[in-house]
Amino acid sequence: MKKNLKYHFVGIGGIGMSALAQITKSQGHFVGGSDRRNDKKQTPEVFHKLESQGIKLSPQDGTGVDNETDFIVISSAVEEDNPDLQVAKQENIQIIRRSDLLSSLFNNKKHGIAIGGSNGKTTVCGMTSWILDSAGHDPTVVGGGYVKNVVTDKLLGNSRFGNSETIIIEADESDGSLIKYIPKISVITNISKDHKTVEELGDLFSKFAENTSDTVIINENCAHQIKINNNSKKVLKFGEDSVSDIIASEISCNAFGSRFKIKESDFEINIPGLYNVHNALAAIAAAQAEGVSDTEIKQALKTFKGTKRRMDVVGEKNGIKVIDDYAHNPKKVQAAIDAVRLISERLIIVFQPHGYGPTEFMKEELIAAFAGKLLPTDVLFMPEIFYAGGTANKKISSSDIIKELKKRGKNAFFVPDREDIVTEVEKRATQNNCVIVMGARDDSLTDFCHAILRAL
């Protein structure tokens, strides 16, 4: 690839966009970008770290694009009337979708590992990357979360530039772009309704598996939904069932991690939740397929610190823990509540739905998830749906979900303003309670967790 090209990323603060921007910068190109959140002075740490790597930030008003710009990079979230995009069209600057830039990077490497699935792919991507990095494989990584092991004063922790032929990416199904990738090894963590129906996802992940050249690694619970016509590739199933290829047995979960066996080998992870045992199985299978020894895998897994906003204990005050988590779809909500229940019997939950379209699509399932998991002593607060801008149809509100949960006798409250929730949590939380804040795509939720902690 020619050096010193000039790229401008629209929405550069997004988790996927910032990861790819950092990789592009590491390749020797000039990288700049804009973001609405930076204009509003939200989540300043993200933008400070990008700037510290030599990435130039500009307002999202078209001024960051000029006739020296070679490429504008956009995601599926960028609207047609975006000022940067309008200038690019006027100046005939080539417009590239993020998924096309990523697929070009990925498909040009010999050892491509793509992690897909409705839940857990960020953690599996982080685990697999840490294992291969620790084993000396020097992978390039484009992830969907900030891996604590690689976060520094300058690096966000969602990407890594390696000089080998190994690349590990998180493959997104929400916009269907995962079928652009041609992996050597693919992982399907699980399939559940999120952005698309289970039937649509089954078809999409089947194509993803078909595109894989060597090994397909599938959660045993969704293997029946994947149809692979090409018999030349290896298919490995993971789970707890005796018919799987990678089987976890003698599982012991505590509030801070889990131990389990695979055949006669003992493994340990220091992040909580049974679902993380399954995530570890997927990462172990991928690492084994790349020739990493069990000894190296065990050591790396034991030292894996997890990902920011995934069961992230922000702090504890007066015997009350505050936890930050990315859970946003019904399965993730259920798994997060189960994991926190190991720490505390009484939970105070703050759930911020993300996006009007996704919330309407998953409304009934979200109601069922909370209705099934909330105990009589638990309390649920919901602010209004997180809105990142654009042309969304706002015909649904968080209050619609709360009304249904109230009908079912749950202690559920709609509080539009998050600042008012801090006061409510302060009033209700008592010693040995756990406050868990859940929601996607809004990094300011971490600041919100700290506000709660200060108030306790």
The pLDDT of residue 394: 85
Residues 422 and 286 in one domain: no
Residues 136 and 264 in one domain: yes
Q: What's the rounded Cα separation, in Å, for the pair 139 and 117?
A: 21
What CATH number should be reported for the domain holding residue 362? 3.90.190.20
Query: Which tokens in the block code for residue 207?
Result: 């194509």
Q: What's the rounded Cα separation, in Å, for the pair 42 and 22?
A: 20
Q: What's the rounded Cα separation, in Å, for the pair 150 and 161?
A: 12
Domain membership of residue 222 (yes or no) is yes
Residues 299 and 327 in one domain: no
Is the separation of the CB atoms in 338 and 353 below 8 Å?
A: no
Residue at a domain's end among 64, 97, 130: 97
Strand partners, 313: 323
C-beta atoms surrounding 396 within 10 Å: 18
- Phi, psi angles (nearest 5°) of residue 310: -120, 100
| Total number of residues shown for the chain | 456
The SS3 assignment for 255 reads coil
Residues 261 and 336 in one domain: no
Cα separations in angstroms, 254 against 241, 259, 260, 268, 439? 22, 9, 12, 11, 24
pTM of the predicted protein model: 0.92
Residue at a domain's end among 46, 73, 97: 97
Domain membership of residue 1 (yes or no) is no
Residue at a domain's end among 261, 282, 303: 303
Domain membership of residue 45 (yes or no) is yes
Is the separation of the CB atoms in 435 and 323 below 8 Å?
A: yes
**What is the per-residue DSSP string for 401-412?**
HHHHHHHTT--E
Place of tokens 């399939």: 191
Domain membership of residue 102 (yes or no) is no
Domain membership of residue 103 (yes or no) is no
Q: What's the rounded Cα separation, in Å, for the pair 270 and 258?
A: 7
Residues 88 and 174 in one domain: no
Q: What's the rounded Cα separation, in Å, for the pair 88 and 86?
A: 5
Residues 237 and 353 in one domain: no
For residue 31, give its domain range: 6-97
Q: What's the rounded Cα separation, in Å, for the pair 22 and 31?
A: 8
The pLDDT of residue 75: 87
Residues 247 and 267 in one domain: yes
Q: What's the rounded Cα separation, in Å, for the pair 5 and 25?
A: 10
Q: Per the structure, how many domains does the chain have?
A: 3
Query: Which tokens in the block code for residue 288?
Result: 């084994």
Residues 292 and 194 in one domain: yes
The SS3 assignment for 388 reads coil
Is the separation of the CB atoms in 287 and 128 below 8 Å?
A: yes
Residues 287 and 213 in one domain: yes
Q: What's the rounded Cα separation, in Å, for the pair 60 and 34?
A: 5
Segments in the chain below pLDDT 70: 1-3, 389-392
Q: What's the rounded Cα separation, in Å, for the pair 401 and 416?
A: 13
Residues 63 and 167 in one domain: no
